[in-house]
Structure 1
């Protein structure tokens, strides 16, 4: 089975901005994944400072409560529509 995405567990993300060892581990994981031509997703992202650091580390994707709580399918569609409208208004 081909692998194209590596997911970083929330336990590494939780203290990424406060713990230099966690930050180093995450940065190393991202660099290793990139060298293997894999995209990277960080889970458990809850704060703006985590998002900023992950962007600086060249993380491809992030998921977590920073973006939204868990949603049922119908509410997810509404959230996506609102998100896309907001994004278009900014451009």
Structure 2
């Protein structure tokens, strides 16, 4: 389920990502401008939830908000991701 199933096809609005069985899968962190590991799964919902699983780092993050699209794919999701990975860098 967590493997890219798109055979190298790429959506223009999601560089560096493929798609597994139910969620996006990070293929290229550089193209995606992401600190996440290759193979990280992520998705969100229209009413403001977002989640990602970075198995390489043993990390799962789930956020529930009441922000409609902002909590699904807006700036909040990117800022949450960056805060989590930034905190990991400080700890290590």
More strand by share: 2
Higher gyration radius (CA): 1
Higher relative contact order (CA 8 A, sep 6+): 1
More helix by share: 1
Taking structure 2 as the reference length, the TM-score comes to 0.30
Taking structure 1 as the reference length, the TM-score comes to 0.30
